[in-house]
Copies of this chain bind each other. A is one copy, B any other.
Amino acid sequence: MQSRTPASRTGRPRSAAADTAILAATREALVELGWSGLTLGDVATRAGVAKTTVYRRWAGKSELVTDALATLFDQLVLPDRGSLRADIEDVVLQFAELLEQPATKTALMAVVAEATHDEALRQRIREKIVARQKRLVVEGRSRAQHRGEIPVDTTDPGPQIDLIFDVIAGAVVHRTLVSCEPVDTDWATRLTAVLLDGLAAAGD
């Protein structure tokens, strides 16, 4: 999860319960206090551990919040709804529900903000969040191709996958956090329609 203890086999092992307690306390404190208001001392108190225990495991606030956030994103799955349209609508609503949780929205934006001037943190985010969730797009695209809904191209699919991922995730994040409007089934349907059919065909 955080700093590894690779070659150490002797001595008292680290409490796994402390890990989960600290991460849970971090999410709780984020909801109540936000990024600026969150202090590691307060997290330690909420988790029922000493402040030094937190510092022994995480280098700072950014790393701790990133790990607390990663545990939330792993809830996403992609059940087969039978069509590309239904699959997209499903994952949009799922992602929106995840972003409805106050801990998710606060942590995601704050960590991305910190990452703009911290290369190591950018790497951590890409590994633990972006790369993992991009698999949803890969799987949905593969299913759609097998169904014959979209053509099987011979070129490198990477750029197209990245584009779809950014459009879907970006739209949901922007709608939820910047425009501050809810993502309901109607909006998910409209977004999916634009994605599949284009603006002209999807006009009101």
- Residues of chain A touching chain B, judged by Cβ–Cβ distance below 8 Å, are 31-36, 61-62, 84, 102, 105-106, 108-110, 112-118, 122, 125-126, 130, 149-151, 153, 155, 157, 159-160, 162-167, 169-175, 177-181, 187, 190-191, 194-204
Copies in the complex: 2
**CA A17 to CA B204, docked complex, whole Å:** 48
Closest to A105 in B: B116
In the complex, are the beta carbons of A194 and B191 less than 8 A apart?
Answer: no
Residues on B with C-beta less than 8 A from A199 are 84, 150, 164, 195-196
In the complex, are the beta carbons of B200 and A187 less than 8 A apart?
Answer: no
CB distance from A144 to the nearest CB of B (A): 9
Residues on B with C-beta less than 8 A from A178 are 112, 125, 130, 166, 169-170, 173
In the complex, are the beta carbons of A200 and B125 less than 8 A apart?
Answer: no
- Do A169 and B159 form a contact, CB below 8 Å, given A34-B113, A201-B198? no
CB distance from A173 to the nearest CB of B (A): 6
**CA A170 to CA B117, docked complex, whole Å:** 21
